[in-house]
Amino acid sequence: MQNAELQQARDNAEVSLEKYTDLYDFAPVGYFSLDEKGVILEVNLTGADMLDADRSRLINRCLGDFVVPMEREGFRRFLEAVFVGTDQKVCETTLLNGKGATFWAELQGVRAVASRNAGPWCRVAISDVTIRKQAEEAQRQSAALAMTNRELQREIVRREAVEQALNKSEKRQRLLLKRSLEMQKQLRWLSHQILHAQEEERKRISRELHDDITQTLVGISIHMGSLNRETKVDVNDLKTKIARTQRLVEKSVDIVHRFARELRPAVLDDLGLTSALHSYMRDFMKRSGIRAHFTTFAGVNKLDGGLLTALYRVAQSALVNVEQHSRASQVKVNIEDLGGNVGMTIQDDGVSFNPQRVLRAGNTERLGLLGMRERVEMVGGTFKVTSRPGQGTTVNAIIPRGKSARGRKSR
């Protein structure tokens, strides 16, 4: 009975051993038994297949020889950590099989209990994680690609914005160039018109000097000659001739004064803008029959000389246009203190016109408006003309006043 029991126990042990061997050899991971130097003491069939080598030829070989050279130092530290501690250690590395092919492997090691006659050893389970690593790498590349796509999309948006800005800038540059060419053309035309106007003014002055002053002086000369030739002196007749000669002299003086006022009124330099405009507007009313009303503010004469000249010339040019073109019955000139600026408004009740059309016209009609605008812009101001049917025309100029006094309104 004892033999039978022993045989039965032996058979059961062999069956268990076969089961254990099958489980060990055909497990889904490679099992390796290693000593402290990494020498393979045992290996299952799965582990031998992973390394593509016969199991018998793997025994007593160092597992580190199958680790790629650049990762062997990491494998050595992993092995040291397994033998130093008692818990399970894990590392990932790249292994070489017998044919030189590489695969990613995950190593899980734990120190084993050494028997009496054996030295320290450990158990290491190796799993092929190449597919997982490839999936992780693919996922990483996909994430990197997605990030690259986002950056590319942002770059596309940025470049589109830059392109739009460049197109807008290019259009603006073309517009500025077009305006510059138009202004150059306008300046050439204006220079030509100014030269023409100067020449016409010289002709007028020359003609009036010849027709008025020269004839008057000739008359004075004739009277003086007749007085010199007379032998008998009649006191009454002499007084009459002298009075006639004095009238001719006064007429010559008036003509000279009128020319001086038109060229540059001395009263503007001596008494200021207020007196100069009062004087000019009195002559304007006598000459044109148009009622003129002028208001300004105290302290206007303390403005800069260039500003006073600009205001006077704008008012003079505007009144000349009113006299020649507006058919107005009255005109108002107002100069007001606008804080940091001085404003001038010339408003008439005459017929209206299209200022823009006149400014675009290729004739001398536009010279007065252009001259006024140029004078205002030369001193840093703004110039505007509005004209509406039934409301007449209004010329408005706003000029920076600079350092000047402010005061109350005066007539």
pLDDT in tens, 204-243: 666 666 666 666 777 777 767 766 666 566 667 767 777 7
Per-residue pLDDT at 115: 66
> Rounded to an integer, what distance in angstroms lies between the CA atom of residue 401 and that of residue 23?
105
pLDDT above 70 covers a percentage of the chain that reads: 78
The letter for the amino acid at 403 is: K
User: pLDDT, tens digit, for every residue of 359-401?
Assistant: 554 444 455 787 788 888 888 899 999 988 888 899 999 999 8
Taking residue 307's Cβ as centre, other Cβ atoms within 10 Å add up to 20
DSSP secondary structure, 295-362, as one string: EEETTGGGS-HHHHHHHHHHHHHHHHHIIIII--SEEEEEEEE-SSEEEEEEEE-S----HHHHHH-S
Q: pLDDT category, 119, cuts 50, 70, 90?
A: confident
The DSSP bridge pattern shows strands 291-297 and 330-337 to be parallel
How far is residue 22's CA from residue 215's CA, in Å, rounded to a whole number?
Answer: 146
Q: Which CATH code for domain 21-128?
A: 3.30.450.20
Q: How confident is the model at residue 409 (pLDDT cuts 50, 70, 90)?
A: very low
Q: Are 341 and 307 in contact (CB under 8 A)?
A: no
Query: Boundaries of CATH 3.30.450.20 in the chain?
Result: 21-128
CATH number of 266-410: 3.30.565.10
What CA–CA distance (Å, rounded) separates 159 from 156?
5
CATH 3.30.565.10 spans which residues of the chain? Answer: 266-410
**Nearest residue to 404 via CA among 311, 307, 273:** 307
By the 8 A CB rule, do 206 and 242 touch?
no
Q: Is the pLDDT of residue 304 over 60?
A: yes
- For residue 197, the tally of other CB atoms under 10 A from its CB is 14
Q: Is the pTM of this model over 0.85?
A: no
**What's residue 404's pLDDT?**
41
Contact (Cβ atoms closer than 8 angstroms) between residue 124 and residue 107: yes
Cα Rg of the chain (Å, integer): 57
Go through 77-94 and write b for each residue having 16 or more CB atoms within 10 A of its CB, e for each that does not: ebbeebbeeeeebebebb
Q: Using the 8-state DSSP alphabet, how is residue 86 labeled?
A: S
- φ, ψ of residue 97 to 5 degrees: the values are -90, -175
- Measure the CA angle with vertex 193, ends 348 and 316; round to 5°: 30
